[in-house]
Structure 1
Amino acid sequence: MTAVYLFREGKLLMLYRVGSRVVAPSWCGVGGHFEQAELNDPRACALRELREETGLTEESLEELRLRYITLRMKNGEIRQNYYFFAGLKPGAAVRGTCDEGRLEWVPYDSVLKREMPFTAKTVLRHYLRVGCRTRCIYGSVTEAEDSAFTELAEF
C-alpha cells in the first residue's frame, strides 16, 4: 500500500477513511492498494491514489518524496507500506469531497491524537520528531510496542 501526507502551514492533510477492507474507520494518509501495473512503482501508485482521492496532480506538489518503507505482520499477512510526504504549492487546492472518507487539514500538534492504524501512527510520530528535519528514507519493522526505524543508507 501507499500513503501520501501533504503538509502546508503547520498542518498535515489526513483522510478519515471509511469502508476499507483492511483498515477500520480511522485517520490516515491519502493512498491505497497497488494496481497490477504499479507493483514495481510505488510513486505511480501514490500519485494515482492522490489524484483519485484529492484531485491533485504531481504539478500541485513541492518535492514529493518517499520517506518511509514499513513491514508489519497482521492477520497472517505481511503488509508493506510506502509513505510519501510533499508540500502543497501555493494556490493548489484539494477537492472538497472524497469517495473514501473525509479530508481534513490537521495541525501538527493534533495529528497523533487522532485514531489511526498502528503503523501509520509510528511513522507519523517518527516523522514529526525526526523525519521532518531530514531528507532520509527510513525503513522499519513494526513490533508489538513500536516500530524500529533505520535510515536506509546507500552503499
Structure 2
Amino acid sequence: MKQRNMTSIYLRYQNKILMLYREGSRVANHLWISSAGGHMENEELNDAQSCILRELEEELHLKVEDLVNFQMKYVTLRYTNDEIRVIYYFFAEVADLVEIVSNGGKLQWFSLEEINDLPMPITAKKMLEHYIAVGQFDSQLYAGIMKNQDMTVSPLL
C-alpha cells in the first residue's frame, strides 16, 4: 500500500476564500480545490510547511511575508485507490485584496456561505464544513479521518 503526502492552503480575505478550479489533474479534475498545494518532494516529507511555502511561491508567486495568520489547521487521512492520502491543510489571510494569478487553473473568491455548494474532493469538502462551523474561530490544530463519505474530526493539541 502506498502513501501520498500532500499540502494545501486556503487563502482568505475577510469573509471570502480563494478557490482554484482544476482541470487536467489525475487527483482532482473538474473540481474546486484550495488556492495552492501539491505533493511533497522527498526532502519535504517531514516538513509540510516547507512544501506549502514552495507550492505557494510556484503556483501563486506569493511568500509567507505576503500573508497574515499563516497556520496549519488540519491533517487528514483517507484510504482511497489503494493508497493512504495524508493532507496537511493550511490557512492564511491576505492583507489586501491584490490580484493573484495561478498557473494551475482559474482562481475565484467565494463567500463562506457559497463554499459548500462547490464540487470538490470529499476530504476537502468535509474539512471545510468543519472549518466554517468551528475551525475558523480558534487556533486549534485538528485531525480528520475519512471513512466512506464521513469525516471524524478531533483536536490534536
Matched, 1:68 2:68: no
Aligned residue number for residue 150 of structure 2: 146
Aligned residue number for residue 30 of structure 2: 25
Matched, 1:84 2:90: yes
Could you list the runs of 5+ residues in structure 2 that have no partner in the other structure? 1-5
Report deviation, 1:95. Answer: 3.0
Aligned residue number for residue 117 of structure 2: 113
Mapped partners of 2:83, 2:22: distance in 1: 21
Could you list the runs of 5+ residues in structure 1 that have no partner in the other structure? none
Matched, 1:59 2:65: yes
Letter in 2 for 1:112: N
How many percent identity over aligned positions? Answer: 41
Report deviation, 1:94. Answer: 4.2
TM-score, length basis structure 1: 0.93
Mapped partners of 1:124, 1:43: distance in 2: 20
Which segments of structure 1 move beyond 6 Å, counting only runs of 4 or more?
Answer: none
SS in 1 for 2:88: strand
Matched, 1:135 2:139: yes
Answer yes or no: is the 8 Å Cα contact 2:78–2:84 preserved in 1. yes
Report deviation, 1:116. Answer: 0.1
Choose which of 2, 6, 10 in structure 2 pairs with 1:5. Answer: 10
Letter in 2 for 1:126: H
Q: CA RMSD in A?
A: 1.2
